[in-house]
């Protein structure tokens, strides 16, 4: 079963454990500057929103890559960059409408979320369940359920 | 006989339902102590509490020995800590 | 690792910035943050120097665990000689700035001298620039951060800045980072202002490593789990620290109307329940809770002010959300000044972060001014026509703004309560120790707290010791010396790790710190070594103060707490038993009856050279 990252910004406290977990997993160092997931804060922190790649089924980055360095992992559904092939042309960073694939000056390659091969560390590290890893077919389920329960103002 | 029990913060969960927030009237037996009431209501014994009986803080030892009286005001509060 | 092994030294007089290796002997003896910063302070300045002169040294100090996955790894300290106290100043902050300084590759930033004209520091890894601050000098903290990020087109910068209050030398001016976190106490912001340093902006891409990653992550995960399961952590998450106000009210230790009383009739209007109550017009004060870097507790509050409230009804620029009230702000803008208007408290809190001031010292100073006013010692002629009576919410908010902008009577309030009360010939109304105002705990109700206040090296401080359990169990002064000293040493150690004190309040024992330090840092760090480090740090701070000219006479409490009994609450009729506790404390510390560390104590701690 393919799973996807589910982000619930209302639960995010901007602790940035996810950013450290991501960089630690991929680079072996605690370094938010190399994290594939970033937290964005608005209005003095009233809202903080984790943002990362959503693993498009028909990905712009994959299509744009001139050397076919970007492929789709059949098991996890993640869109992955092969560092051995990537030439750092950065055309994928232009193609992605969400900005979630970025260039890494230190390596000369692009980096993006790859779901940690099926065990995303950001979700594991998140203390509030602002990031969870759920059935890709039902990322809306919890919200649907809450909506149903709220009754939309109809009498109980 | 009846006493009033007050609490604060997350400890509200131990009060019987159907009262004001964090405040309840409780029916108890004569001779019961603050410790008895706390056990009865399910306050985990291994935690630390600030217990105030009728405006006086009562230390742990006294909670087990001092019998409560009619209309006593017993406050069972989370411990004080910095902030 | 843990440490970056690198210190950035900036001399503002000559306009130079250079990095140098971290002194590892000192790191092994003093750990980091508070301890290591104190050692660097001792070795780089004369404790007799003028706090607002160029010879004061300003240090931003991270700990070995700052910027790691240990929970609450966002802490850093700001150290210098404090202008409010003339003693060592060590002010702790969270937010994101400290971690960023570490990610840029530095353990410490030392700032010497005084820039000829206002400047700010711009640090991106190895690239360090001292840049002109003309466009931001004279403006607020919030404007400064916004300008710097826009000017450098870098939203990833983290900024620590002062407002006008720090520039103009308000004695309790602070350094605000990330808009609403602060190195709050002792006037560290005024020191930064005296150096013509407006802000430090930093971005790092180097990252932080630990010595044994596998063991460290296992220990870090255990730490996370302990916090996740803890009921006191849950309370901090849900209510923030303001949960204390109801407890202190019931206990009868809530300083009210400048410590004339110990209970306040208005707490239900400013407590956590009030913060989530919905007003008839639909307004709710509290919006969300937020965390500092790495923190899995998230005690921070985000709030906003009712748009119809008198403070902001015609000021749309304050309609946005920002840091909400926590316990000390609630005490300082609530009971101690007699005000119970939650929106007024929240607005005053915004002003503290916008202009860069310590709410505790401001509130307690205003309380002293209100007492002077009510006693007729000062009048409307002195106070810009404002009726400075206890309970006057408008007086609170107007004076907060005046002090932030250093206008009118705000210039007098900006002296801090000690100098202000001395100015008007009534020093007895200043509720301070070593010139620093008390926090929201009354020493008559909490005896061990009183001992801690009197002996804290940075002046009255509620965070440097922890004897709540003993004070709840026994409201006399008996047996308070040992837990006071032991907790002071333990906390000095915690303050040197880069982690937050609240972990200890939310479920961690000292073992949790020990495991993580031992795994992250080179060398062996058994518990005894860590606790001894804490004791060493405490004694070094004491030595700084003795060299600065402080004596045992400064380890005291105001007359009001020694002589005027608490009028109500569980401690009704009690005064502080400091006279009984202090000699016991000195003896237990291994100090002379005059409060000086003995040669034996210094030798045992490796401080023999200072005897």
- pLDDT above 90 covers a percentage of chain A that reads 92
CB contact under 8 Å between C290 and A13, yes or no, is yes
Give domain B2-77's CATH architecture. Roll (3.10)
What's the confidence (pLDDT) of residue C566?
Answer: 98
Mean predicted confidence (pLDDT) in C468-492: 95
Write down the domain spans for chain B: 2-77
Tokens of C413: 């309030």
* Residue A151 banded pLDDT, cuts 50, 70, 90: confident
- Supply the mean pLDDT for chain C: 97
A-C Cβ pairs (cutoff 8 Å, strict): 96
Task: Using a threshold of 3 CB pairs under 8 A, tell whether chains A and B touch.
Answer: no
Range with the poorest average pLDDT among B67-81, C48-62, C388-402: B67-81
What's the confidence (pLDDT) of residue B19?
Answer: 65
In this predicted structure, the answer to whether residue C80 has a pLDDT above a threshold of 70 is yes
In this predicted structure, the answer to whether residue A155 has a pLDDT above a threshold of 70 is no
In this predicted structure, the answer to whether residue C502 has a pLDDT above a threshold of 80 is yes
Write down the domain spans for chain A: 1-52+117-146, 55-112
Chain A residues within 8 A of C298 when measuring between CB atoms: 13, 15, 127-128
Range with the poorest average pLDDT among A115-119, C59-63, C506-510, C582-586: C506-510
Mean predicted confidence (pLDDT) in A107-120: 98
Q: C434, C425 in Cβ contact below 8 A?
A: no
Top CATH class of A1-52+117-146 equals alpha beta
CB contact under 8 Å between B83 and C328, yes or no, is yes
- Supply the mean pLDDT for chain A: 96
B26 vs C161, which has greater pLDDT? C161
pLDDT digits (tens, 9 = 90+) for C475-484: 999 999 999 9
- Do A1-52+117-146 and A55-112 have matching folds? yes
Q: Please report, for residues A127, C43, C580, the alpha-carbon distance to residue C241 in angstroms, rounded to integers and kept in the order given.
A: 19, 36, 31
The CATH number given to A55-112 is: 3.30.70.20
Q: Please report, for residues C72, C351, C407, the alpha-carbon distance to residue C357 in angstroms, rounded to integers and kept in the order given.
A: 24, 8, 14
Q: C81, C49 in Cβ contact below 8 A?
A: yes
Give the pTM.
Answer: 0.96
Mean predicted confidence (pLDDT) in C138-157: 98
Residue of A nearest to C142 (CA): A44
pLDDT digits (tens, 9 = 90+) for C357-383: 999 999 999 999 999 999 999 999 999
In this predicted structure, the answer to whether residue A153 has a pLDDT above a threshold of 80 is no
Residue of C nearest to A9 (CA): C288
Chain C residues within 8 A of B82 when measuring between CB atoms: 241, 462-463, 466, 468, 501-502, 505
- Quote the strand ranges of C22-145, DSSP E: 58-62, 76-81, 88-93, 108-112, 119-124, 127-132
In this predicted structure, the answer to whether residue C231 has a pLDDT above a threshold of 90 is no
Q: Which of A10, A12, A15 to mutate to test the interface with C (most CBs of C within 10 A)?
A: A15
Chain C residues within 8 A of B75 when measuring between CB atoms: 250
Q: B73, B4 in Cβ contact below 8 A?
A: yes
What's the confidence (pLDDT) of residue B82?
Answer: 66
CB contact under 8 Å between B48 and C469, yes or no, is yes
Chain C residues within 8 A of A20 when measuring between CB atoms: 67-69, 294
pLDDT digits (tens, 9 = 90+) for C103-141: 999 999 999 999 999 999 999 999 999 999 999 999 999
pLDDT digits (tens, 9 = 90+) for C316-335: 999 999 999 999 999 999 99
pLDDT digits (tens, 9 = 90+) for C385-405: 999 999 999 999 999 999 999
Distance from the Cα of C329 to chain B's closest Cα (Å) equals 10
Residues in chain C: 611
What's the confidence (pLDDT) of residue B9?
Answer: 75
C286 forms beta bridges with C303
Main-chain dihedrals φ then ψ at residue C227, nearest 5 degrees = -65, -40
């Amino acid at each position: 079963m393919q799973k996807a990252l589910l982000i619930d910004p209302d639960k995010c406290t901007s602790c940035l454990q996810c950013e450290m977990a991501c960089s630690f997993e991929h680079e072996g160092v605690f370094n938010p500057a190399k994290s594939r997931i970033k937290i964005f804060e608005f209005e003095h922190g009233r809202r903080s929103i984790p943002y990362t790649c959503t693993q498009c089924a028909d990905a712009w980055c994959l299509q744009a890559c001139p050397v076919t360095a970007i492929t789709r992992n059949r098991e996890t559904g993640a869109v992955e960059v092969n560092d051995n092939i990537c030439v750092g042309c950065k055309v994928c960073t232009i193609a992605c409408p969400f900005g979630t694939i970025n260039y890494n000056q230190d390596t000369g390659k692009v980096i993006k979320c790859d779901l940690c091969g099926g065990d995303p560390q950001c979700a594991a590290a998140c203390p509030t369940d602002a990031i969870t890893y759920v059935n890709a077919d039902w990322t809306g389920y919890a919200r649907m359920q809450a909506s149903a329960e709220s009754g939309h103002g109809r009498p109980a | 006989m009846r006493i009033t029990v007050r609490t604060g913060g997350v400890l509200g969960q131990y009060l019987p339902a159907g009262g004001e927030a964090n405040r309840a009237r409780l029916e108890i037996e004569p001779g019961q102590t603050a410790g008895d009431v706390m056990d009865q209501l399910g306050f985990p014994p291994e935690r630390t509490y600030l217990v105030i009986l009728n405006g006086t803080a009562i230390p742990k030892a006294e909670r087990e020995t001092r019998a409560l009286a009619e209309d006593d005001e017993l406050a069972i509060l989370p411990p004080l800590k910095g902030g | 690792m843990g440490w970056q092994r690198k210190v950035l030294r900036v001399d503002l007089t000559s306009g130079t910035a250079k990095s140098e290796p971290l002194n590892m002997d000192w790191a092994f003896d003093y750990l980091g943050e508070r301890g290591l910063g104190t050692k660097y302070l001792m070795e780089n300045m004369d404790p007799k120097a003028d706090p607002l002169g160029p010879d004061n040294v300003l240090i931003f100090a991270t700990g070995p665990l700052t910027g790691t996955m240990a929970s609450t790894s966002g802490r850093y300290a700001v150290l210098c000689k404090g202008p409010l106290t003339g003693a060592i100043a060590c002010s702790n902050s969270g937010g994101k700035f400290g971690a960023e300084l570490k990610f840029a590759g530095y353990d410490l930033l030392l700032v010497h001298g005084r820039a000829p004209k206002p400047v700010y520091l711009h640090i991106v890894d190895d690239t360090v620039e001292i840049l002109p601050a003309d466009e931001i000098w004279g403006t607020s903290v919030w404007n400064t951060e916004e300008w710097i990020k826009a000017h450098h087109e870098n939203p990833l910068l983290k900024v620590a800045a002062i407002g006008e209050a720090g520039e103009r030398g308000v004695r309790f001016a602070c350094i605000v980072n990330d808009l609403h976190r602060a190195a709050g106490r002792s006037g560290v912001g005024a020191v930064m202002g005296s150096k013509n340093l407006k802000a430090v902006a930093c971005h790092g891409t180097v990252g932080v490593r630990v010595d044994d990653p596998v063991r460290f992550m296992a220990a870090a995960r255990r730490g996370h789990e302990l916090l996740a399961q803890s009921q006191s952590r849950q309370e901090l998450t849900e209510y923030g620290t303001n949960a204390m106000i109801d407890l202190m009210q019931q206990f009868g230790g809530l300083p009210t109307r400048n410590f004339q009383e110990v209970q306040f009739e208005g707490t239900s209007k400013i407590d956590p329940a009030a913060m989530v109550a919905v007003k008839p017009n639909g307004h709710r004060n509290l919006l969300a809770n937020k965390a500092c870097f790495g923190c899995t507790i998230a005690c921070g509050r985000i709030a906003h002010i009712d748009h119809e409230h008198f403070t902001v009804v015609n000021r749309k620029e304050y309609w946005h959300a920002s840091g909400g009230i926590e316990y000390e702000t609630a005490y300082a803008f609530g009971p101690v000044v007699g005000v119970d208007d939650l929106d007024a408290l929240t607005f005053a809190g915004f002003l503290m972060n916008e202009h860069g001031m310590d709410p505790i010292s401001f509130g307690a100073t205003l309380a002293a001014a209100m007492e002077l006013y009510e006693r007729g010692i000062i009048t409307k002629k002195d106070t810009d026509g404002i009726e400075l009576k206890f309970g006057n919410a408008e007086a609170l908010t107007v004076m907060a703004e005046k002090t932030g902008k250093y206008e009118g009577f705000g210039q007098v309030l900006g002296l801090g309560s000690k100098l202000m009360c001395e100015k008007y010939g009534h020093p007895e109304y200043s509720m301070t120790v070593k010139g620093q105002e008390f926090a929201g705990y009354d020493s008559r109700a909490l005896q061990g707290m009183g001992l801690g206040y009197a002996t804290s090296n940075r002046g009255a401080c509620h965070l440097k010791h922890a004897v709540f359990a003993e004070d709840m169990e026994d409201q006399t002064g008996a047996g308070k010396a040992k837990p006071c000293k032991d907790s002071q040493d333990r906390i000095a150690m915690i303050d040197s790790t880069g982690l937050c004190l609240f972990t200890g309040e939310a479920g961690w024992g000292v073992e949790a710190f020990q495991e993580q330090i031992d795994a992250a840092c080179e060398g062996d760090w058994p518990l005894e070594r860590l606790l001894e480090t804490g004791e060493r740090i405490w004694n070094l701070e004491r030595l700084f103060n003795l060299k600065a000219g402080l004596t045992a006479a400064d380890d005291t409490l105001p007359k009001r707490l020694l002589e005027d009994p608490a009028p109500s609450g569980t401690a009704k009729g009690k005064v502080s038993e400091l006279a009984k506790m202090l000699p016991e404390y000195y003896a237990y510390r291994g100090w002379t009856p005059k409060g000086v560390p003995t040669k034996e104590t210094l030798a045992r701690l490796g401080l023999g050279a200072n005897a």
